Amino acid sequence: MRNQIASIRPAILTIKKKKLSGEKELFQNQTLRPILKFQNDLILSIFLFHFEKHKTEFYQFTEAKRNEFIEQKIQLDRNLRFLLLGTIIGHFTDLEWQMYIPNEKEMNRRITRLLIQRLQDQL
């Protein structure tokens, strides 16, 4: 089952392979980024539904205001952040989960940064 989960993730060709990458950076590049890319459409749908539900006039904002709004929403809205984190964490293998647990705070910070950047780049 472990290989099946990992095998459906897209390859990210822009990842620079460095011999000196730390364990957390490797986890980010080999696990988190492919999962985020795989789940991209769902992540966008969740975020768009969230601001439509709250009657936010998102598309009337300037680009700078949109970027600020995305960052604030993900950082300050716990329900949204936890939903998005669960969307990513739910695609971990058991070994990836074992890596995540002792580094939960750092990994959540990395996932949050990646989510914010991905949404800002697309919206």
- Domain interval for residue 118: 39-123
Contact 102, 95 (CB under 8 A): no
Number of structural domains, the chain? 1
Contact 54, 25 (CB under 8 A): no
Could you tell me if residue 117 is inside a domain?
A: yes
Could you tell me if residue 56 is inside a domain?
A: yes
What is the pLDDT confidence band of residue 18, given thresholds at 50, 70 and 90?
low
Could you tell me if residue 75 is inside a domain?
A: yes
Could you tell me if residue 91 is inside a domain?
A: yes
pTM attached to this predicted model: 0.85
Could you tell me if residue 29 is inside a domain?
A: no
Could you tell me if residue 22 is inside a domain?
A: no
Q: What's residue 111's pLDDT?
A: 98
| pLDDT at residue 17 greater than cutoff 80 | no
Contact 87, 46 (CB under 8 A): yes
Could you tell me if residue 52 is inside a domain?
A: yes
Whole-number Å distance between alpha carbons of 2 and 54: 38
C-beta neighbour count of 118 within 10 angstroms: 19
Residue-wise pLDDT tens digits, 86-114: 999 999 999 999 999 999 999 999 999 99
Could you tell me if residue 114 is inside a domain?
A: yes
